[in-house]
Structure 1
Amino acid sequence: MTSSTDFALEIQESPKRRNVKNEKPDTLDVHERQGKDFLTAGEMDMVLKASRKGKFGSRDHCMFLLMYRHGLRVSELIGMRRSDVSLDEARVFVRRKKDGLSTSQPLDGEEIRALRAYLRTRSDDMPWLFISMRRAPFTRQALNYLVSQVGERAGFAGLHPHMFRHSCGHALANKGTDTRLLQDWLGHRDIRHTAHYTRTSAKRFEGIWG
């Protein structure tokens, strides 16, 4: 029996907004004037665990994992094709939007297992990596709705897809990732966008008191 969440996804209803503002201030330090726009690694683990539940758990978990690990924008995720993934070589081609740097990136063991589990559920020959129950490409509206529903399930009301990208940037910065390497991983053309993550990283302040 199809759940109400699955039904809502299939008719692709637009998600109800939860006080999310669309305005985009001109300065690059917009994040500094907003509230927390990312999840910690531990919080993201809770979201990934919650994404496994439901009729399409293997698909949802795979989408969320790739979106987080590779800092994917919505358009980048739903635009992925099966040919972008090579499980034998453990690589995924990330085609960046907004004139970003597109790169071939490694897949770790967890991602490969998630992809294999999901692809085993596919019996079609459609080119898109992620599809809906109606065998159509995922839409932005459907992904927004799915993320908000899984977020509530995990205890994070108001979760939206772009927070996965920010969470990726902060997680890698906290691991001490070089700013230039992080810039290329996220596909930023302007390093000032990347610097936000390294400037606010807790790792940067470790040992400041000796």
Structure 2
Amino acid sequence: MHAIKPLLLALALAGATALPAAAAEAPAEGPVTGGAPDALLRFDEAGYFAVYDLTLAHGYWTAEATSAAGARVDLVLDAATGALHATGGTGAAAPLTAATVRQRLEAAGYSAIRDLEFDDGFWEADARNPAGRRVELRIHGWTGAIVEERVEGGPVAGGLSAAQILERLAAAGYRNIRNLEFDDGYWEADATNAAGVRVELRIDPVTGEVVHEERD
């Protein structure tokens, strides 16, 4: 077992909508560029084992694991910076409280905030954004960065066609793409990724970016 390396850096994903900044934490270990194997190595080096349910979404690797002390934890690894956060466990920084998240959302101009709950290292909520639209939010549990804002039931302006989505996936290294369909605001598909692993994908309908990749 490798020694535990503290990897607690409160930085938002580049381009994510950030709420008022939290206190600075330790330096990052660098970007996670090697996909799932690199993410698993980071978890191992930080002293976590029995990792399962490894998922990439919105630039963050998430998983459940066991800490060196034997506690079950949820892990959130920023692919852009290498910052690692964990729920529970000895020495782990606690995520933001619901009250703090609500205060930060209100300070950022959101209102009518409801259904605020913590799940897999992220806070989720329904709210009305500063433009007055009802949106669904996904918020980093430690940094307070909004990593996803989706308009409830809104049209997809400037969305890509199915053919264009297939082209974007192929260009990104995916193959054997099947079951492509539009559901609940996203394109979804089954495919084989560049590492040869069968995965389920969720794709942004406007940019064509894969925002969620999960082992099939």
Output the TM-score relative to the length of structure 1.
0.28
**Greater strand fraction, Structure 1 or Structure 2:** 2
**Greater helix fraction, Structure 1 or Structure 2:** 1
Which structure has more RCO (C-alpha within 8 Å, separation ≥ 6)? 1
